[in-house]
Amino acid sequence: MNDTSSSNSKIPHIAVIGIGAMGGGMARALLDSNVSHRVDAYDRALPLVEAFYRDAQKLGKAATDGHSPTKLSQVVTKETSLVLVVLQNEAQCEQVCFGTGSPQANDENDNLRSLLSHGSCVIVSSTVTATWIRQACTKFREAGILCVDCPVSGGPVRARDGQLTLMASGDDDSLAVARPLLDALASQVHVIDGGAGMGSTVKMVHQLLAGVHVVVAAEALALAAKAGLDVVQVYEIVNGAAGASWMFRDRGERMIAAGDGDVPVNSQAQIFVKDLDIVHAEAKKLQSPIPIASAALQQFISAQSLGLSERDDSQVVKVYENVT
């Protein structure tokens, strides 16, 4: 985590929208970083919000009236300087940013474009299509609001420690305003030339690799088990050899642990269905063949058919275990 702030340069008010596994860690990293006088958060899952505010209030960086917010307008106001959006999918981002795309919406003004003042900045760290984030940044700019396309990588532990890798793109003014917050979240901030959408394009390529690596790890460990090998020993050997990858080390351990019962959910399997769908759609537009990524997508879809959508993505290994 990088604390680059001083008492005179702190961001007055940050709001984090979406505090699940990644967003919750990022919000707490901001609390610890001393980058802002106040950090607020909003999520539809009230227990997550209540837990966050207990932590924030201990540090004196949130409202102390004892009430957890149940509406976006309770955490985002005209005084909010920066908003970090860490939601699961594009539809959720569209609803929060612009109040469209959800039949459940009952307040057309309970969205970021309506609530924020000119000169504030929205940072979208969700994995979305480059097309969507370009359109979103255009809409925000028309309302006088800055916008940064900034997907992330690193997992919940590194999110909590402020050690993520960020892929940021946007106009120079937006990036300059967002930079102190980005530095507080990351060990590496990569600024991608070409404007909004280029960060998400890099993330799309990254997710192709990540999704394939998870599936290949499952395939290898399942093969080892069926060959009668000690999978723990195989895991240890591979981790010290050329076949290792970050995903093999991280997910492989949870694949093995699943033999003793459920494992904690760090990232749901359905996330890779969504992300690899983005890869597939973009590759189709570019006429770029992706046979291996397509095979990985089918394995995650198979995991969904086994009822594993909301289980940890490492549990794609069960697709192989269920093959007789």
271-305 tens-digit pLDDT: 999 999 999 999 999 999 999 999 999 999 999 99
- Assigned superfamily of 204-321: N-(1-d-carboxylethyl)-l-norvaline Dehydrogenase; domain 2 (1.10.1040.10)
Question: What span, in angstroms and rounded, lies between the C-alpha atoms of 4 and 183?
Answer: 7
CA atoms within 13 A on the CB side of 261: 1
- Per-residue pLDDT, 2: 54
- Predicted confidence at residue 51, as pLDDT, reads 94
List the catalytic residue out of 61, 71, 203, 226. Answer: 203
- HSE on the CB side for 251, CA within 13 Å? 30
Report CA-CA distances (Å) from 61 to 12, 82, 202, 204: 10, 15, 34, 34
What's residue 7's pLDDT? 45
Which helix (H) or strand (E) segment is 14 a member of?
A: strand 14-17
Output the pTM of the full model: 0.91
pLDDT value, residue 101:
61
pLDDT of residue 323: 73
Instruction: Give the architecture-level CATH label for domain 14-196.
Output: 3-Layer(aba) Sandwich (3.40)
Domains 14-196 and 204-321 share a fold: no
Low pLDDT (below 70) residues in the chain: 1-8, 62-66, 101-108, 260-261, 324
Q: Calculate the alpha carbon distances from 317 to 135, 189, 254, 279 in Å.
A: 37, 33, 10, 22
Q: Where exactly are the structural domains of the chain?
A: 14-196, 204-321
> So what's the pLDDT on residue 102?
52
- 139 noted as active-site residue: no
pLDDT value at residue 58: 85
**Which pLDDT score, from 0 to 100, does residue 5 have?**
46
